[in-house]
């Protein structure tokens, strides 16, 4: 048994986000608004050895199950991550995150002059125009967005 397995196993109910691209763990916390205020036990492991010469980040959150919006955020920030839903110490669901064709409402367009950043009643929509290269385009202003600079609603 590997050391990383031990880190992800010991949880009764909740979610383990595994295989987060190294260095993205803290950004995932920010995106999913996992800040510990709810009082749940949260464990964060950064730079965990994973396979030959590779490292990953892991987050486990007790008593919270990730929703679809969360999974879409993960797909943008940490496209290689997996989500493990744990109930009564058992893995009941394991899912790979995958990019949808469009992402609504999660991120703000990074173009300050985009109509979605104005006072108009409108929420951002981004089209995923290249899933493998992680290329997002704002449906309104048509700018290609830098996924590392996206801000959340």
Partner 1 sequence: MIQSMNEFFQKDIISVRDFDKQKLESIFDATNKIIKLKPNDRREIGRGKTLGYLFYEPSTRTRLSFEAAIASIGGTSIGISNISSSSTQKGESLADTVRIMSIYSDVLVLRHPLDGSSRFAAEISEKSVINGGSGTEEHPTQAIQDLFTIKKEKNKIDGLKIGIVGDLKYGRTVYSLLSALSYYDVDVHLISPESLKIRTDSTYEIKKRFSFTESTDLEEYIDDLDVVYVTRIQKERFPDEEEYIKVKGSYVIGLDITKKMKDDAIILHPLPRLDEISAEVDNTKQAKYFKQAEYGMYTRAALLGLILNEKGF
As measured in angstroms, the least distance from the Cβ of 118 to partner 1 is 6
Nearest to 153 by CA among 39, 63, 72: 72
Q: How far apart are CA 153 and CA 99, in angstroms?
A: 19
As measured in angstroms, the least distance from the Cβ of 140 to partner 1 is 3
As measured in angstroms, the least distance from the Cβ of 30 to partner 1 is 23
Q: How far apart are CA 9 and CA 3, in angstroms?
A: 10
Per-residue CA distances from 74 to 3, 39, 81 (Å)? 24, 22, 7
**Contact flags string 84-123 toward partner 1, x per CB under 8 A:** -------------------------x-x-xxxx-xxxxx-
Question: Using the rule CB under 8 A, is 35 a contact of partner 1?
Answer: no
Are the C-beta atoms of 144 and 99 separated by less than 8 Å? no
As measured in angstroms, the least distance from the Cβ of 33 to partner 1 is 27
Size of the site for partner 1 (CB under 8 A): 23
Binding site for partner 1 (CB under 8 A): 109, 111, 113-116, 118-122, 129, 135, 137-146
């Amino acid at each position: 048994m590997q050391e990383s397995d031990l880190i992800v196993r010991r949880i009764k109910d909740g979610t383990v986000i595994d295989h987060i691209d190294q260095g993205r763990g803290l950004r995932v916390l920010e995106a999913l608004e996992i800040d510990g205020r709810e009082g749940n036990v949260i464990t964060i492991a950064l730079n965990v050895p994973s396979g030959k010469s590779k490292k990953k980040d892991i987050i486990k959150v007790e008593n919270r199950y990730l929703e679809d919006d969360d999974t879409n955020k993960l797909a943008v920030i940490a496209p290689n991550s997996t989500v493990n839903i744990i109930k009564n110490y058992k893995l009941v669901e394991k899912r790979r995150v995958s990019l949808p064709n469009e992402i609504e409402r999660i991120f703000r367009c990074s173009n300050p002059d985009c109509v979605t950043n104005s006072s108009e009643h409108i929420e951002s929509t981004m089209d995923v125009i290249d899933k493998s290269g992680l290329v997002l385009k704002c449906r309104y202003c048509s700018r290609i967005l830098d996924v590392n600079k996206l801000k959340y609603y």
